[in-house]
Structure formats: C-alpha cells, structure tokens
Structure 1
C-alpha cells in the first residue's frame, strides 16, 4: 500500500465518521416529521368513544375507515417528505465524498460526481412512502385486532379501550424506528453506490462506539467485508451497516489504490 493510498484510507475513515454524525441530525429531523402522523393517528382514535364493549364495537369500523382514508390522503405529503429526506442524505453523502476526493485528485472527483446513485435514491423514496403510509394503516389493523380479541376473548372494556387509545403512542414509537433505520439505510445505500462506482469492493464495519451498540455488532467492528456479501449482523439477518432496524453502525469505504 502506497503512502498516498494509506492517507486516502485514513481520510475515508474520517469522512465516514463525519457522515455518521450528520446522519444523526437528519434522523432527528425526519423523526420530527413522522411524529406528526402519529399525533394525528392519536387524534383520530381519541375522537371515538371506547368506554364500553358496545361503544368499542360501534367505533371500531368507522375508526378503521378514517385511518385508512388518512393513509390515502398522505400520498403527496409522503412523497414530499421522502424526497426531502433522501435529498438531504444524498447531499450529506456528496459532502463526505468530495472531501475525500479533494485529497485524491481530479480523477476520483470526476468519478464520484458521475456515480449512478439515482436508482438507490428512487428505491429509498419509494420505500419511505410505503413506510409513511403504513403508520395509519397499521393503526387501523391494530384497532381491528384489539376489537376482535376483546369480543372473542371476553376481555374487560377498560383494558381494550386503554390499548386502543394508546394507538398514537404506538405509532410514535414506530415512527422513531423508521426514522432511525431509514436515514442510516439510505446513507449506506448511497455510499455503496458511489464506492462500487470507483472500484471499491469492500468496506470496514464501524459502530457508534457506545454502550447501546448490540453485542452482535460489536464483534463486527473493524472487520472488513465485501459490499455484495454483507455479514450476519443479527441471527438470521445479513445486512450492511445501518441497513437493519435500529442499527447506528456505518461503513468505512475501503478505497481502491488508484495509483
């Protein structure tokens, strides 16, 4: 490995860490937008009466219809929010790569600017729209399930009502999970697209380095893997860093020697 290549790899590590910190800020911004949906889900559910079994039976179907209708109306907003998130992640990714390429010459700079990231961006946007709309749809399904279980299993009305009324909080938790997972996943997908375009075949797994890192991810830290052969990071699940639920790990590109 030449001195120039070692220097480039050091810069790649620094660039990856900086991108990870920017992703955390974008995650908070995305989560804030999605929490608005959760609040509205809570408002919809709380607009119905759930105190008695009769009220639960009467309110269940109209509440479900209203939640599903809400999901249908989300299309324009969901597309705009998804586009904004992906664009912000892409901009952050470009900043990281341009800092790296400035130390590696005009050839790499040109290659990075022409990287085919469009497909990864489109795939992420479509995935976000589906996930955003799933929040009220899942809430509708939850209301249906709780109602059916309450009637068939003879549960107390107050117990069922409490769980149905918590639908907004459940949606909020899932919104946070979506934001935490999808910003990291999108960032990794864009990094992978640019890395493979310049000839990189491998990455180094890096963790956030704190007490919240999963034990299964700690053992991967610092190890090198192929982009097209992600490791088993959770039992039965193979994924790139940041590509699985609640994962805050990130890839450090193994820079090819362009000398």
Structure 2
C-alpha cells in the first residue's frame, strides 16, 4: 500500500468535511421531523394532489402544506447562526494556515524568528496573509450558507413534486435522503477544493518570502489523482509563470486538487 504524501493536510480536509456533514445531517433530521409531524395527515394514502385541493375534503390543506414547509425552512436556518458558520470556517482556515506555516518552517530548517516584542513574524502573520485568510473565511462561510439555501429550496421542490405525483410519506422520506446525499457530496467537494486552494496561496507566500522562486509539483500519488496532474508530478515550475503548472494554476488551485508545491531553494 502506497503511503500518502504529507505535504497536503488530508486530516484537516476530512475534519472540515465531517463538521459539514454533521450540519447537513441535522438539516435532514429536521426536515424529516417536520414531514412526519405536520404533513402525514395531509397525504391521504399518497393520492391527494396539490392541484386537487379545491376538490378535497379540506380545501385548506394546501395552505397547511405550505406553512409546514415554511416552518421546516425556518427550523433548518435556525440550527446554525451566521456566526456559528463563520466560527467553523475560521477554525478550518486557521488550521490550514498553521499547517502551512509549520511545514514551511520545517522544510526551510527555520528554528527561530528574530522579531521584537511588537514586531511581526512575516511568515506567521502579515497584513497580506490576514487579508487573504479573512477573504477566504467570508467566501467559505457564504459557500455554506448558499449550500443551505439550495438544500432548502430544492427539498421543498422535491416534496411538492412528490405530493403532486401521488407520493406518500415514505416517498418524501426517500426524497429527503436523496437530497441529503447530494448535499453531502457537495460538502465533500467544498472541503477538498477549499483546502487545496488555501494551502496553495499561503504556501506560495511563505515559500517566496523565504527565497524560493521555483517549486516541484507533487501529487498525492493515489488513484484519485487526475491524469494531467499525474503527468505534472515531479516536474519543476517557476512561481507566477502564467504557463506553468496546470495552465498557470498552482498545485491545489484546480477544482478538487490535492496536489501541493514542494519549494526549491
């Protein structure tokens, strides 16, 4: 079995995904609870349809369905505040940034940074790094909020479609499970993609700050590596070369890329 290379923070990526998956499964449980409690009585054996509301025994049932879905949406949104999501992302971004710092310091053999009491360690912190990491915190928080919004909107559409198709509670439960699976896959993409992109930029900053002008493209050397990146593995490139790497992109920058740059002194 090939041992995974250690220049990419795989454990941090998986930890971020697990945090996202826990949140998403919470959304799923909330949706299932609302369906079971508030919609079961309005789906009569899977035969009642929204279009038939005026002819049903209870002409108000369509409004009840709509109200139940509004409450479901509110419950899902209330599970995490914007600050909760920002705190989660902040921990993730800082962890990747710290991983980069420790990796570069170890690679360069730097044991101490000579800075005064009020001086700034340019490899650990700088206005440029702060601006970049804060931008990523805002971006990734918005990615999760957008994912939540799509989950809610698409799930509501799924439920309406199931009712109009004559589906019952079990069909709605299946729709929730399917939508949850799709959202989990999206979360997995976010975790991998953002880990690689953040690492690429903070590594580049620190490597250039310590005198590197070139790097070697390193892949994870496993079956998930795309053919193009398998070809790039081990090849040398110059930083800021618009034709270098993957069409000018650093290792980790292409979507869902887990490659990383190994600096050359």
Q: Same fold (TM over 0.5)?
A: yes
Q: Give the match for residue 84 of structure 1.
A: 91
Structure with the higher fraction of residues in helix conformation:
1
Name the SS of the counterpart of 1:251 in structure 2: strand
What is the CA distance between 1:71 and its match in structure 2?
Answer: 3.8
Inter-CA distance 19–217: structure 2 relative to 1 (3 Å threshold): closer
Alignment length, in residue pairs?
Answer: 230
Q: Which residue does 1:33 correspond to in 2?
A: 19
Using structure 1 for the length normalisation, give the TM-score. Answer: 0.72
Partner of 2:69: 63
Measured against aligned partners, the alpha-carbon deviations of 1:104-158 in whole angstroms (never above 9, x if no partner) come to 9979xx763465421221122112211222232110121244356668xx75536
Asked if the contact 1:31/1:179 (under 8 Å) is kept, the reply is yes
Cα separation, 1, equivalents of 2:69 and 2:244: 43
Q: Are positions 1:94 and 2:101 aligned together?
A: yes
> Residue in 1 aligned with 2:220?
208
- SS of the aligned residue for 1:166 comes to helix
Distance in 2 (alpha carbons) for counterparts of 1:65 and 1:227: 51
Of 11, 14, 18, which residue of structure 1 is paired with 2:6? 18
- The reply on whether 1:188 has 2:200 as its aligned counterpart is yes
Post-superposition offset of 1:44: 2.1
Change (3 A) 1:200 1:123: farther
2:123/2:209 contact within 8 Å kept: yes
2:30·2:75 contact (CA, 8 Å) conserved in 1? no
TM-score, with structure 2 as normaliser = 0.71
Q: Deviations over 1:138-179 (max 9, x none)?
A: 10121244356668xx75536963324422222222222222
Segment of structure 1 superposing worse, 54-63 or 167-176: 54-63
Shift of 1:69: 6.2
Alpha-carbon spacing, 1:204–1:61, altered in 2? closer, same or farther (3 Å): farther
Structure 2 residue aligned with 1:251, among 247, 255, 261?
A: 261
Residues 141 and 254 (structure 1), Cα distance of their counterparts in 2 relative to 1, 3 Å cut: farther
Structure 2 counterpart SS, 1:253: strand
Gaps of at least 5 residues in structure 2 are: 51-60, 115-120
Say if 1:64 and 1:144, in contact at 8 Å, map to a contact too.
no
